[in-house]
Amino acid sequence: MDMRQLRYFVVLANQQHFGRAASVLHVAQPALTRQIHLLEEELGVQLFVRHSRGAMPTDEALFLLERASFLLRYAEQMRQDMKALQRDARGPVAIGVSPGLALLLAVPLTRAVHQRLPGVRLRLVEGFAPTLHSMLLQGTVDLAVLNGPMPLSNLVTFPLLTEGICLIARPDDKRIRGPRAKMTQLAGLPLVMTGLAKSGVRLELEAAAARAGVELNQVVEVESVEVAKRLVREGIGVTVHFAATVKEDVEAGRLVAYPIEGLRLRRILARAADRPPSRATEELVGLLRTVVESLVEGGQWPNAVLDH
């Protein structure tokens, strides 16, 4: 197989139609069909099932798609790296962040990339820590901001910060006495659970509740902190998350964030250890850490302490 065949295959797998794929690739449809047939012969599998509306990828095709996409991205990275030897860093860099962190980092990081790394094409990929960890190892993203605890084998990591976790409520909620909260205060409170079970904030919260002998009263479970904020504002309950994700609501007086004593989470930046980073990726590591430092020291990332 060659890179051309893989490129044709990836486009067809995404378009699921020979005519549309040929148009995207700017090739004649018979030429596309022949290359796919040669690839199927070489691999000894059927990659597509033709039907009246197009071409459906087989299970074997879906297995190949992930690996072919990575190889094509890696080939593009090599081309950009060779060009970068003679000029500034350039090329695509995909970085994975949690949905809550994306709210905080998207604007300042994008601005910093445009100002300092104009040749870099930034792509922000949102996901929760377990998914981001897998995407990093698979090569779907080049960098990811992860939170512990999680396995760090096969990763190169860079410290970022440790962030306090807060009890988030309406300012008129008389059941909570600030300015800080204790785990025991969560007992009986209607709780909007945010994120994935056994991951990130929820993992830390549930472990701390077990240690304190507190039974959590979960009234609804959501993934997005944006949905959780709306439910809290509507009086459905309280939630537990980072103050930075509700900073605008706190400043506007719509919500209050009470740091929970002893509850915190460490964030790290990571890349896969088995693939050499592009120059653009290396530059973005330093730039992201600079942006994070600026946000923390400027008071825009509340309850966070830089790690070194």
Give SS3 for 276: coil
Contacts of 247 (CB under 8 A, 6+ apart): 104, 300, 302
User: Hunting for tokens 């004593």 — which residue is that?
Assistant: 261
How far apart CA 95 and CA 269 sit, in angstroms, is 10
Give SS3 for 226: helix
pLDDT at 214: 93
Give the start-to-end residue ranges of the domains of the chain: 3-81, 89-160+267-306, 162-265
How far apart CA 303 and CA 152 sit, in angstroms, is 25
How far apart CA 122 and CA 117 sit, in angstroms, is 10
pTM, 2 dp: 0.71
Top-level CATH class of 3-81? mainly alpha
For residue 278, what is the DSSP state?
P
218 alpha carbon, distance to own chain's centre: 26
What amino acid is encoded at 251 in this protein?
Answer: E
Topology at the third CATH level for domain 89-160+267-306: D-Maltodextrin-Binding Protein; domain 2 (3.40.190)
Burial class (CB in 10 A: 0-12, 13-18, 19+), 45: middle
249 with 255: CB under 8 angstroms?
yes
Buried b (16+ CB within 10 A) or exposed e, 93-126: bbbbbbbbbbbbbeebbeebbeebbebbebeebb
- Give backbone dihedrals phi and psi of 88, rounded to 5 degrees, phi first: -65, 160
3-state secondary structure 48-85: EEEECCEEEECHHHHHHHHHHHHHHHHHHHHHHHHHHC
How far apart CA 219 and CA 238 sit, in angstroms, is 10
How far apart CA 19 and CA 13 sit, in angstroms, is 12
Tens-of-pLDDT digits for all 308 residues of the chain?
788 889 999 999 999 999 899 898 888 888 889 989 989 899 999 999 988 888 999 999 999 998 888 888 878 777 776 766 656 778 899 999 998 899 899 999 999 999 999 989 999 999 988 899 999 988 899 999 998 667 778 899 999 999 999 999 999 998 888 789 999 999 989 999 998 877 888 889 999 999 999 999 999 999 888 999 999 999 999 999 999 999 999 999 999 999 999 999 999 999 999 888 888 899 999 999 999 999 999 999 999 999 98
Q: Do domains 3-81 and 89-160+267-306 have the same CATH topology?
A: no
Contacts of 145 (CB under 8 A, 6+ apart): 95, 96, 97, 98, 101, 105, 132, 160, 267, 268, 269, 270
Task: Say which CATH superfamily domain 162-265 falls into.
Answer: Periplasmic binding protein-like II (3.40.190.10)
